[in-house]
């Protein structure tokens, strides 16, 4: 079973003998891109021509993440998986809103052979998925919306959601009974010093509720530390946050001016289980 379902009629998608495309019993067919990913976002489900992050935003995200600034968070996520999930059988894992695949690659490397994973990644941004597929040929990447996930019912053992939107009904549908949801959300002081360049009055926000309907909470870890991105990496960090829309030219220039700038990062890592 491929685990894919047709985004048009929701019947199962089957890889055809040529190995170049998938099709369903209604003869809807979807080609595998040269980079190895599958585009399961039909034009009628798009809100714009190229939804999601554009190429510039994707490159900014890659530049910042591959500098290792969020590596401690990725390590904590990997530890949560190895400490709580069974290692007796292969786990099907979906990286929801995976972007260019940094967390999929990093976590797969950290877990190693402790837990055998079949990794999937989904994002609405085609540029990001193409980049992810090039970097990690052993994973299965798909262009699709979090509100219309093109996967079979009860296919996944684990869904990873790092700073990504989700749909509780879809999460319940694609996860197996007693499947796990591992969520990373910003803590109250996340990127505090960056926000000081943009907002006149910076306040701690309340912890975001992360428990999706139909799930029971298992654990929460708050991880805080400082990063020291250089001016170019600060520019990339700004581009990958919602704050970019509020940062005028003066704020952007001021943010890049200091040679060194310590910025707080604050993550809440929560594990829950489907009831």
Is 52 within a domain?
yes
pTM for this prediction: 0.92
What is the C-alpha to C-alpha distance for residues 180 and 218, in angstroms, rounded to an integer? Answer: 10
Contact yes or no for 229/263 (Cβ under 8 A): yes
Token pair listed for 167: 């749909």
Could you count the other beta carbons within 10 Å of the beta carbon of residue 84? 14
Is 79 within a domain?
yes
What is the C-alpha to C-alpha distance for residues 150 and 137, in angstroms, rounded to an integer? Answer: 20
Q: Is the dihedral of CA 235, 137, 8, 30 positive or negative?
A: positive
- Strand (E) or helix (H) holding 209: none
Task: Note the pLDDT of residue 51.
Answer: 60
Residue 268 is assigned to a ligand binding site = no
Claim to verify: residue 55 and residue 80 sit in the same structural domain? yes
Q: Which residues pair with 32 in a beta bridge?
A: 38
Task: Note the pLDDT of residue 56.
Answer: 80
Residue linked to tokens 């704050």: 243
Residue 217 is assigned to a ligand binding site = no
Is 121 within a domain?
yes
Claim to verify: residue 153 and residue 213 sit in the same structural domain? yes
Task: Note the pLDDT of residue 61.
Answer: 86
Residue 70 is assigned to a ligand binding site = yes
Claim to verify: residue 23 and residue 125 sit in the same structural domain? no
Report the CATH number at residue 172: 3.40.50.150
Is 255 within a domain?
no
Claim to verify: residue 27 and residue 41 sit in the same structural domain? no
Q: What is the mean pLDDT of each run of 10 residues along the chain (275 residues)?
A: 90 93 94 95 68 76 93 96 88 95 93 88 94 94 94 96 92 96 94 92 77 88 96 90 85 89 95 93
- Which residues are CB-contacts of 78 (< 8 A; sequence separation ≥ 6)? 106, 107, 110, 111
Residue 9 is assigned to a ligand binding site = yes
Sequence-ordered strand ranges (E) for the chain: 14-15, 21-23, 29-31, 38-39, 91-96, 117-123, 140-143, 156-162, 175-186, 215-227, 263-274
Contact yes or no for 158/178 (Cβ under 8 A): no
Task: Note the pLDDT of residue 136.
Answer: 95
Range of the domain at 127: 36-186+206-221+267-274
Is 245 within a domain?
no
Residue 24 is assigned to a ligand binding site = yes
Task: Note the pLDDT of residue 83.
Answer: 93
Task: Note the pLDDT of residue 86.
Answer: 84
Task: Note the pLDDT of residue 48.
Answer: 56
Alpha-carbon distances, residue 32 vs 12, 15, 35, 93, 240 (angstroms) = 16, 10, 8, 21, 28
Claim to verify: residue 8 and residue 94 sit in the same structural domain? no
Claim to verify: residue 20 and residue 117 sit in the same structural domain? no
Is 250 within a domain?
no
Claim to verify: residue 22 and residue 44 sit in the same structural domain? no
Residue 103 is assigned to a ligand binding site = no
Claim to verify: residue 10 and residue 143 sit in the same structural domain? no
Task: Note the pLDDT of residue 208.
Answer: 65
Claim to verify: residue 9 and residue 109 sit in the same structural domain? no
Claim to verify: residue 43 and residue 155 sit in the same structural domain? yes
Could you count the other beta carbons within 10 Å of the beta carbon of residue 96? 25
Claim to verify: residue 1 and residue 47 sit in the same structural domain? no
Task: Note the pLDDT of residue 46.
Answer: 60
Q: Strand pairing of 91-96 and 156-162? A: parallel
Is 243 within a domain?
no
- Structural domains counted in the chain: 2
Q: Which residues pair with 39 in a beta bridge?
A: 143
By CB neighbour count within 10 A (0-12 exposed, 13-18 middle, 19+ buried), where does 144 fall? buried
């Amino acid at each position: 079973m491929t685990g894919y379902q047709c985004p048009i009629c929701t019947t199962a998608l089957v890889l055809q003998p040529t190995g170049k495309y998938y099709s369903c019993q209604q003869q809807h067919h979807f080609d595998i891109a040269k980079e190895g990913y599958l585009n399961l976002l039909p034009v009628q489900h798009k809100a714009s021509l190229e939804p999601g992050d554009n190429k510039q935003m994707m490159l900014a995200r890659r530049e910042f993440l591959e500098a290792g600034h969020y590596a401690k968070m990725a390590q904590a996520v990997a530890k949560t998986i190895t400490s709580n999930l069974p290692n007796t059988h292969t786990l099907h894992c979906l990286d929801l809103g995976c972007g260019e695949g940094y967390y999929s690659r990093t976590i797969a490397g950290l877990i190693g052979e402790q837990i055998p994973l079949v990794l999937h990644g989904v994002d609405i941004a085609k540029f990001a998925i193409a980049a992810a597929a090039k970097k990690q040929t052993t994973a299965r990447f798909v262009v699709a919306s979090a509100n219309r996930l093109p996967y079979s019912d009860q296919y996944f053992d684990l869904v990873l959601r790092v700073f990504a939107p989700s749909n509780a009904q879809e999460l319940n549908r694609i996860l197996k009974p007693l499947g796990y949801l591992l969520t990373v959300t910003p803590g109250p002081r996340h990127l505090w010093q960056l926000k000081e360049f943009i907002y006149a009055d910076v306040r701690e926000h309340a912890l975001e509720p992360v428990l999706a309907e139909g799930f029971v909470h298992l654990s929460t870890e708050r991880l805080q530390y400082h990063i020291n991105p250089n001016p170019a990496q600060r520019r990339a960090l700004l581009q990958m946050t919602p704050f970019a829309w509020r940062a005028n030219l003066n704020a952007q220039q001021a943010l890049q001016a200091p040679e060194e700038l310590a910025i707080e990062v604050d993550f809440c890592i929560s594990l829950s289980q489907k009831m």
